[in-house]
């Protein structure tokens, strides 16, 4: 019974790690091939929150999952292109020149309206404190770690079993 449970856990870990590796490879390839687009999987893109301008809704270091949608409305928290970088703020008004945005923690609205075509997507989920890890996993070192952990999950249980058997044989 324990062996069956251990095998199920191991299989689940391998599937999750392989899925994570494939997603990361896709995100890295997409970012390299389409530098002006937000890379994503099935329409969802992970973003690490860099500042506290959206406290308490989003904190620095959180992971925000953004989804591109057909339309946005007042109250939506959106990620938008501001020059060459992404900013995540709340839409507070819809003006003739675009969306008026503001960070929840900021005292004033953003200086310029955001054109609808500059909106990368709406924040649909946030995971506290995972943004830094997500950024790391998208680096070559992070991908390497993911591969090493995946291989360890595959190889380590069999290696430990062999060592135990040899120890039992030597003791007998």
Give the per-residue pLDDT at 99.
98
CB atoms within 10 A of CB 127: 13
pLDDT digits (tens, 9 = 90+) for 98-108: 999 999 999 99
Cα separation of the two ends of the chain: 26
* HSE-CB of 160 using CA atoms within 13 angstroms: 6
Q: Judge whether residue 168 has pLDDT over 80.
A: no
Residue 149 has a pLDDT of 83
d(CA 93, CA 53): 18
- Between CA 84 and CA 6 the distance in angstroms is 47
**pLDDT over 90 for what percent of the chain?**
44
- For every residue of 37-59, DSSP letters joined together read S---BTTEEEEE--SSTTTTTS-
* pLDDT above 70 coverage of the chain, percent: 98
- pLDDT for residue 114 is more than 90: yes
Q: Yes or no: say if 44 and 65 are a contact pair by the CB < 8 Å rule.
A: yes
Around Cβ 47, how many Cβ atoms within 10 Å? 23
99 or 83, which is more confident? 99
DSSP assignment letter at 90: E
Q: What is the mean pLDDT of residues 132-160?
A: 82
The answer to whether the CB of 122 falls within 8 A of the CB of 67 is: yes
Residue 143: pLDDT above 90? no
Q: Decide which of 90 and 27 is more confident.
A: 90
> How far is residue 54's CA from residue 74's CA, in Å, rounded to a whole number?
15
The radius of gyration of the chain from alpha carbons, rounded to an integer in Å, stands at 22
Per-domain boundaries in the chain:
1-37+139-172, 38-129
User: What is 38-129's CATH number?
Assistant: 2.10.109.10
pLDDT digit string (tens) for 21-78? Answer: 788 778 778 877 887 788 888 889 989 998 999 999 999 999 999 999 999 999 999 9
pLDDT above 70 (res 172): no
């Amino acid at each position: 019974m324990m062996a069956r449970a251990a095998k199920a856990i191991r299989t689940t870990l391998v599937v999750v790690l392989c899925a994570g590796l494939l997603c990361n490879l896709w995100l890295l390839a997409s970012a390299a091939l389409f530098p002006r687009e937000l890379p994503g999987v099935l329409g969802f893109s992970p973003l690490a929150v860099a500042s506290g301008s959206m406290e308490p809704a989003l904190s620095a270091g959180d992971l925000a999952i953004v989804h591109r949608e057909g339309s946005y409305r007042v109250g939506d928290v959106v990620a938008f292109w501001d020059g060459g970088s992404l900013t995540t703020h709340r839409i507070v008004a819809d003006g003739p020149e675009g969306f008026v945005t503001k960070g929840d923690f900021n005292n004033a609205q953003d200086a310029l309206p955001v054109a609808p075509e500059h909106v990368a997507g709406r924040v649909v989920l946030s995971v506290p404190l995972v943004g830094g890890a997500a950024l790391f996993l998208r680096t070559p070192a992070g991908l390497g770690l993911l591969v090493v952990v995946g291989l360890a999950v595959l190889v380590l249980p069999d290696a430990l079993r062999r060592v135990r058997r040899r120890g039992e044989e030597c003791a007998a």
